[in-house]
C-alpha cells in the first residue's frame, strides 16, 4: 500500500538525519510518496513565514508527518514553531517510549516504560505578561477537557499495547486547583479502566523514584511541563535523547519527531546520529500499519548497536552518518 506522508526535514542536522531515515525506509520496502516541505531557510528566503508555507495543509491532508528538529531562539524572537505546530494541529498527546538499546551505555538495564505528556496547555500556553517592570506573570492553564482527554489517551494506550500500570504525576499538594483538577480527571477516567492499575505520585518524589528504580514504572501520565522534564530525565536513564523516539498524536493527525534539537555544532559534517529520528519513524510505520517493515528496521538497528562497529561519535563510535545508515540497510538485507 502506498502512503503519502509529510516530511519536514528541519534545520541544522535535520536534512542529514531525515535523508538517512528516508533511505532506510525505502530499503525496507515501504512505499511512501513523501510530501516534502522545503527547508526553512529556503521558505524564508522567499519571504514567507514557515507556518504559512503549506505545512499545516500538508499534514492535515496526509494525516501523518515525520519531522526533523527546528531552531527556536532562546530569548525573544518568534514563538517556537514546534509548539505552534502542536497547537495548530491539536497534537494533544506526546508519546515518549523509553527502552534500553543494547550496545548503548546507560545507567540502567531493563528499562521499558512510556510517558504520556499533555501537549497543549499548562505553562506552555504562552500566556505571559509583565505586570510592572521587573515582575512577570506566566499563566498555568489546566482544563477538565484536556486533562480528561490525556488520561483517556493513556489508558487506551495501555490497553492497546498491553501495559498494566499508570502513574499520574502531579503537584496537587501545592497547586491544589490546577494540578488538583488534573488529578480529579485522571481518577475519574481510571474508574473506567479497572484492568489497569492506577497510582499517583508527586512530581519531586516521582523524579527521585525514577532515578532510584525506573523498573517500578510502566506508564506515566503528566501535564505538559512535568512531562517535558521527566521524559528527558527518563531518556537519560537509557543513554539520552539520541536513542529515544517520540510521537505527537491528535484525534486525526500524528507527527513523529526526534526529541533532540538541530545540533548546529555538528550540522553539515556527516557525523549526526539518525537513530532517534529512525526510531520515531519506526513508531510512525507501526501507526500506519507497516508493522513488519517496522520490525525489520528495528531488528537491524538493534543488531548494528549490539555489534557496535559502525556507531556514530555521540554513542562512542567513529562512523559517519552515511556509514551508519549503509550498515543499517546492509544488516536489514542480510
Ligand atoms: P541539541 O539537541 O541540538 O544539541 C545538544 C547536544 O547534543 C549538542 O552537542 C549536539 O551536537 C548533540 N546532538 C543532538 N542531536 C544529535 C544527533 N542526532 N547526533 C549527534 N549529536 C547530537 O540541543 P540545543 O543545542 O539545546 O538546541 C539547538 C537548537 O535546537 C535550538 O534552536 C533549539 O530550540 C532546537 N530544538 C529543537 C527541537 C525540536 O525541533 N523538536 C528540540 C530541542 C531543541
* CA dihedral sign of residues 148, 276, 163, 295: positive
With the most atoms of ligand 1 within 8 angstroms of its CB, the residue from 263, 275, 324 to mutate is 263
| Whether pTM exceeds 0.85 | yes
- Domain stop point among 212, 237, 262: 237
* Other beta carbons less than 10 A from residue 158's beta carbon: 23
With the most atoms of ligand 1 within 8 angstroms of its CB, the residue from 11, 69, 124, 243 to mutate is 69
Q: How far apart are CA 291 and CA 285, in angstroms?
A: 7
**For the residues 113-124, what does the mean pLDDT come to?**
95
Query: In 42-76, which positions are buried (b, 16+ CB within 10 angstroms) versus exposed (e)?
Result: ebeeeeeebeebbbbebbeebbbbbbbbbbbeeee
Alpha-helical runs (H) found in 175-315: 178-190, 203-212, 224-237, 275-287, 291-307
On whether both 177 and 284 belong to a single domain, the answer is no
The CB of 242 under 6 Å from ligand 1? The reply is yes
**pLDDT at residue number 53:** 82
The CB of 266 under 6 Å from ligand 1? The reply is yes
On whether both 102 and 251 belong to a single domain, the answer is yes
Residue 114, in any domain of the structure: no
Q: Residue 163: give the domain boundaries.
A: 121-237
The CB of 262 under 6 Å from ligand 1? The reply is yes
On whether both 2 and 102 belong to a single domain, the answer is yes
**Chain segment 128-183, per-residue pLDDT in tens:** 999 999 999 999 999 999 999 999 999 999 999 899 999 999 999 999 999 999 99
Domain with 84 in it: what CATH number?
3.40.718.10
For the sheet with 219-222, list strands across it.
32-36, 3-8, 64-67, 254-257, 247-249, 93-99, 112-118, 219-222, 165-170, 197-202
Pull the grid cell for residue 202: 508527586
- Domain stop point among 201, 221, 237: 237
Residue 249, in any domain of the structure: yes
Q: How far apart are CA 302 and CA 321, in angstroms?
A: 16
Q: Supply the residue whose CA is at minimum distance from atom 39 of ligand 1.
A: 69
Q: How far apart are CA 303 and CA 307, in angstroms?
A: 6
Query: In 218-234, which positions are buried (b, 16+ CB within 10 angstroms) versus exposed (e)?
Result: bbbbbbbbbbbebbbbb
Beta bridge partners of 95: 116, 247
- Domain stop point among 221, 237, 253: 237
The CB of 143 under 6 Å from ligand 1? The reply is no
| Mean of per-residue pLDDT scores for the chain | 94
On whether both 223 and 247 belong to a single domain, the answer is no
**Chain segment 254-283, per-residue pLDDT in tens:** 999 999 999 999 999 999 999 999 999 999
pLDDT reading at 71 higher than 90 = no
Distance (angstroms) between ligand 1 centre and the Cα of 87 equals 22
On whether both 208 and 248 belong to a single domain, the answer is no
Domain with 203 in it: what CATH number?
3.40.50.2300
> Structurally, how many domains does the chain consist of?
2
Pull the grid cell for residue 152: 483517556
The CB of 240 under 6 Å from ligand 1? The reply is no
**pLDDT at residue number 126:** 80
On whether both 131 and 213 belong to a single domain, the answer is yes
On whether both 139 and 208 belong to a single domain, the answer is yes
Residue 113, in any domain of the structure: no
Distance (angstroms) between ligand 1 centre and the Cα of 260 equals 5
Amino acid at each position: 500500500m502506498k502512503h503519502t506522508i509529510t516530511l519536514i526535514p528541519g534545520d541544522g542536522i535535520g536534512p542529514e538525519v531525515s535523508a538517512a531515515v528516508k533511505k532506510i525506509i525505502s530499503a525496507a520496502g515501504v512505499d511512501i510518496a513523501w510530501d516534502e516541505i522545503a527547508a526553512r531557510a529556503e521558505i524564508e528566503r522567499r519571504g514567507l513565514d514557515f507556518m504559512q508555507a503549506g505545512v499545516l495543509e500538508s499534514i492535515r491532508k496526509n494525516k501523518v508527518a515525520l519531522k526533523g528538529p527546528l531552531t527556536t531562539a532562546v530569548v525573544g524572537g518568534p514563538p517556537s514553531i514546534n509548539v505552534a505546530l502542536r497547537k495548530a494541529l491539536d497534537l494533544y498527546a506526546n508519546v515518549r517510549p523509553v527502552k534500553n538499546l543494547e550496545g548503548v551505555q546507560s545507567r540502567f538495564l531493563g528499562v521499558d516504560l512510556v510517558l504520556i505528556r499533555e501537549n497543549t496547555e499548562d505553562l506552555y500556553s504562552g500566556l505571559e505578561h509583565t505586570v510592572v517592570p521587573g515582575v512577570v506573570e506566566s499563566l498555568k492553564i489546566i482544563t477538565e477537557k484536556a486533562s480528561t482527554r490525556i488520561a483517556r489517551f493513556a489508558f487506551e494506550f495501555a490497553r492497546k499495547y498491553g501495559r498494566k500500570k499508570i502513574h499520574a504525576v502531579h503537584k496537587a499538594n501545592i497547586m491544589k486547583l490546577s494540578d488538583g483538577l488534573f488529578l480529579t480527571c485522571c481518577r475519574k477516567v481510571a474508574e473506567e479502566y479497572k484492568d489497569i492499575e492506577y497510582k499517583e505520585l508527586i512530581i519531586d518524589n516521582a523524579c527521585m523514584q525514577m532515578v532510584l528504580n525506573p523498573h517500578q514504572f510502566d506508564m506515566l501520565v503528566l501535564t505538559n511541563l512535568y512531562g517535558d522534564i521527566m521524559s528527558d530525565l527518563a531518556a537519560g536513564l537509557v543513554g539520552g535523547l539520541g536513542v529515544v523516539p517520540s510521537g505527537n498524536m491528535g484525534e486525526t493527525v500524528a507527527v513523529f519527531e526526534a526529541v533532540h534539537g538541530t545540533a548546529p555544532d555538528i550540522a553539515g559534517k556527516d557525523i549526526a546520529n539518525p537513530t532517534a529520528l529512525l526510531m520515531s519513524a519506526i513508531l510512525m510505520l507501526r501507526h500506519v500499519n507497516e508493522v513488519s517493515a517496522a520490525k525489520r528496521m528495528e531488528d537491524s538497528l538493534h543488531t548494528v548497536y549490539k555489534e557496535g562497529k559502525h556507531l556514530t561519535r555521540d554513542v562512542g563510535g567513529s562512523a559517519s552518518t552515511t556509514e551508519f545508515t549503509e550498515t543499517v540497510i546492509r544488516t536489514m538485507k542480510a
